[in-house]
Amino acid sequence: MSHAHAHPHDQPGGHHAGHDHEFDHSHHHHHHGVPSSQKRLVFALLITAGFAFVELIGGWWAGSLALISDAGHMFTDSASLLLALIANLIGQRPANDDHSYGFGRAEVLGALLNSLAMIALVVWIGVEAVQRLLHPQEVNGGGVMVIAVIGLIVNVLSAWQLSHDHDNMNSRAALLHVLGDLLGSVAAIAAGAIIYFTGWKPIDPILSVLVLGLILRSTWALLKQTTHDLMEGVPPHLKLHDIGMAIAAEPGVREVHDLHVWRISGRRVALSAHLQISKGSDWPALLPRLNQMLLKRFQIDHVTLQPSWQPQHREGRIIPIHHQRD
């Protein structure tokens, strides 16, 4: 038999397995109106960009690296939120002949760019903090506290809005940025208070570096996930072996090989595999059972299966998952 992946329009009872949808299955993932995730991103973008400008002026006036760092972080967040919004809008576009999976991967690319921007910011502020430790500068502790408290309120509002969207990677990336800002505001408040009451100036760059460490940790985790998705890795919550065994356990399936599972975007996960089945006449009944099982047990909604019912002789690598004896 041919081993090329077939599609729903090939022939009745063909080799494509997915939901019992029409050919334009992937076209059904866009939404009418403005999705709530986009509204949240717009809200966070507006208040973050507005206050970043205020905080930058205040940090320059007060001479605080912690405040300037937080302002720079918030400006980067504004750009990241804008990038996330654009990626979100692109991701809503339906599939076409050139992009058969749609544009959902724009969200992954947006999250990757967000992560890289954050790493660059961490490096820049880290260098500045070292210079401040070597050459301390005057800081207006009282002014830092007032501005940082306002920044804390702004960041709490943004984080509250973005925390409602757990599955959108760009919203998650934006949330990490805002949480980093929130930590920056707390650090700036602490730095301002210590300088105001004790006059100890090194606390300003020291707290900046501590916040950078927390930001870098969160950013690194997101960077790992986005690169994993771009490399078409198996989603972390799924185990390839468990999926292969579940398919092979279905009556009529003798062997599973060339099994691949990857995330398209957000909640959309795809699977492809070659199956050796007992009889060709089993396939019309076996196909919907496999579809239902994969959707219910593993939340995999885009499935392509290639069946055959005779010994296979082909070139290339065969990945045996399970053999079921008759």
Distance CA 198, CA 200 (A): 5
Quickly tell me which residue has 């795809």 as its tokens: 270
Measured CA distances, 249 to 106, 171, 238, 246, 322 (Å): 36, 38, 17, 5, 9
| Residues written for the chain | 326
Measured CA distances, 317 to 81, 157, 245 (Å): 43, 53, 19
Domain extent listing, the chain: 31-230, 235-323
The pLDDT, as a whole number, for residue 284 is 94
Tell me the chain's radius of gyration from C-alpha atoms.
26
Quickly tell me which residue has 């760009």 as its tokens: 170
- Long-range contacts formed by 154-163: CB under 8 A, 24+ apart: 154/47, 154/48, 154/51, 155/48, 155/179, 155/181, 155/182, 155/185, 156/182, 157/47, 158/43, 158/44, 158/47, 158/48, 161/40, 161/43, 161/44, 162/40, 162/41, 162/44
The CATH superfamily assigned to 31-230 is Cation efflux protein transmembrane domain (1.20.1510.10)
Encode the chain (326 residues) as per-residue pLDDT tens digits: 434 444 333 333 334 443 433 333 334 444 444 556 667 777 777 877 888 888 888 888 888 877 877 777 777 667 767 776 777 777 778 888 888 878 878 878 878 887 888 888 888 888 988 988 898 888 888 888 888 888 888 878 777 776 665 555 666 666 776 676 677 778 888 989 999 999 898 998 898 888 788 778 778 888 898 899 899 999 999 999 999 999 999 999 999 999 999 998 777 899 999 999 998 888 999 999 999 999 999 999 999 999 998 755 555 455 556 555 54
The CATH superfamily assigned to 235-323 is Cation efflux protein, cytoplasmic domain (3.30.70.1350)
pTM given for the model: 0.65
